[in-house]
Amino acid sequence: MRARANAMRILFVITGLDYGGAERMLLNLVVRLAPSHEIVVVSLTERGPMAADFERLGARVIALGMRGPHAMPSAVLRLVGHMRTIRPDVTSTWMYHADLVGGLATRLAGLPGPAWGIHNGDLSIESTKRLTRAVIRLNARLSGALPRLIICCSHAARRMHVEQGYRDDRFMVIPNGFDMERFRPSDDARRWLRAELGLPADAVLVGLVARWHPVKDHAGFLRAASLVSRTHPGTHYLLVGSECDAANAALVALVESAGLTGRVHLLGARDDIARVTAALDVAVSSSTGEAFPNVLGEAMSCGVPCVTTDVGDSAHIVGDTGRIVQPRDPQALAVALAEVVGMPRAGRLELGRRARARIRDNFELGHVSALYEDAFGALLQPRRARARGMDA
């Protein structure tokens, strides 16, 4: 068994605690770190719906209430005050605004620089707000001065940010990790969801788990589904995520124009994603930009084969256990999806078995959390060495 590192007081600073991929990964990490280390989580904005999840793990949650760019200087000063009280051994910031605010605050508080965290692999104009682009440019200029380490969740995102001017020698890539006890194959989940939707027990379900956003390309997915339905008319499709519900008139119109009314089920945001994911036959990621999409690892952990666009580290995650197509090509997506949908169930199960094994071998949460723990310990090591020298 791996020897535990010395206990640390770790301060995580994140932009907010709404449901999202980076936020879920931080929660997964805290699940593993909280039993051995003291954890404080600071949200720059409000507490958010995930704050209670962190507190149930024993972490202390602080919300700074920052609203808009004009409040950023005040947030920096408030964070400085908390840092001086908390005196963290290590500060880890997650996402661009938190990187900037946390980096400035550690400098003003007289603390060692933080480990910045980058969890984004799409810097396109349609997916990145103007203010965020300005923060990215500023962070690039400060990346040699503020952080001691930049932890990036994907190799593709690292390359992208180095091209933006980030200091290459600061980077370490640590992939997202997946809880394979929570996300696991389940025949019960398959039966439950089909019964909930009023579908036959053997209905083929294809799922897209993604919030409503242009970068997720729901329109492209639905065009592909429409093509697949011509040869596989019994297939049903699930859309799961924020605003993917009947109240979204634009999405409903897309479903209708694709001729998929009655075949597409809009489940909206769910708090039982693990069970819904385990009920799928095929998981799809149709995004035009990602860094390290959690939905792929979660589906693969559940033994569900994936069809994904080749963005960020998606192809690396899936490997040879699914199908990879170019983004913004519904025809190619349809061909790949039809190939997997058209397999005998035994063929999909074999792909799923290999997919779960790939997550176990490369992206299991215990292994990934150990990489974070080692990285944080390395940041703290010089301070502890100095302290031992002073005590000698």
Q: What is the mean pLDDT of residues 141-163?
A: 96
DSSP assignment letter at 45: S
Gap between the Cα atoms of 259 and 263, Å rounded? 9
Q: Do residue 352 and residue 299 come from a single domain?
A: yes
pLDDT digits (tens, 9 = 90+) for 294-308: 999 999 999 999 999
Q: What is the mean pLDDT of residues 63-91?
A: 95
Write down the pLDDT at residue 384: 56
Write down the pLDDT at residue 386: 57
Q: Which domain holds residue 94?
A: 9-177+364-391
Write down the pLDDT at residue 382: 66
Calculate the dihedral angle through the C-alpha atoms of 112, 7, 54, 81, rounding to the nearest 10 degrees. -30
Q: Is residue 383 part of a domain?
A: yes
pTM reported for the whole predicted model: 0.88
Write down the pLDDT at residue 381: 78
Q: What is the mean pLDDT of residues 180-188?
A: 97
Write down the pLDDT at residue 1: 30
Gap between the Cα atoms of 198 and 176, Å rounded? 35
The DSSP-derived string for 61-73 is: EEE----SGGGHH
Q: Do residue 16 and residue 152 come from a single domain?
A: yes
pLDDT digits (tens, 9 = 90+) for 8-66: 999 999 999 998 889 999 999 999 999 999 999 999 999 999 999 999 999 999 999 99
What distances in angstroms separate CA 32 from CA 109, 178, 180, 297, 371, one per listed residue? Answer: 28, 11, 13, 18, 12
The total number of structural domains that make up the chain: 2
Q: What is the mean pLDDT of residues 246-275?
A: 96
% of the chain residues with pLDDT over 70 = 95
State whether residue 157 is helix, strand or coil.
helix
Write down the pLDDT at residue 250: 98
Burial 373-383 (b: 16+ CB within 10 A, else e): bebbeebbeee
The DSSP-derived string for 65-95 is: ---SGGGHHHHHHHHHHHHHHH--SEEEEES
What is the CA angle 264-347-193, rounded to 5? 35
Give the CATH number for residue 354.
3.40.50.2000
Write down the pLDDT at residue 3: 39
Q: Is residue 158 part of a domain?
A: yes
Write down the pLDDT at residue 391: 52
Q: Is residue 96 part of a domain?
A: yes
Inform me whether the pLDDT recorded for 389 exceeds 90: no
Cβ atoms of residues 218 and 212 within 8 Å: yes
Of 167, 170, 176, 173, the closest CA to residue 155 belongs to: 173
Q: What is the mean pLDDT of residues 93-110?
A: 97
Write down the pLDDT at residue 162: 97
Q: Is residue 1 part of a domain?
A: no
Q: Do residue 335 and residue 261 come from a single domain?
A: yes
Gap between the Cα atoms of 267 and 188, Å rounded? 19
- What confidence category does residue 121 fall into, taking pLDDT thresholds of 50, 70 and 90? confident
Beta-carbon contacts of 253 under 8 Å, excluding residues fewer than 6 positions away, are none
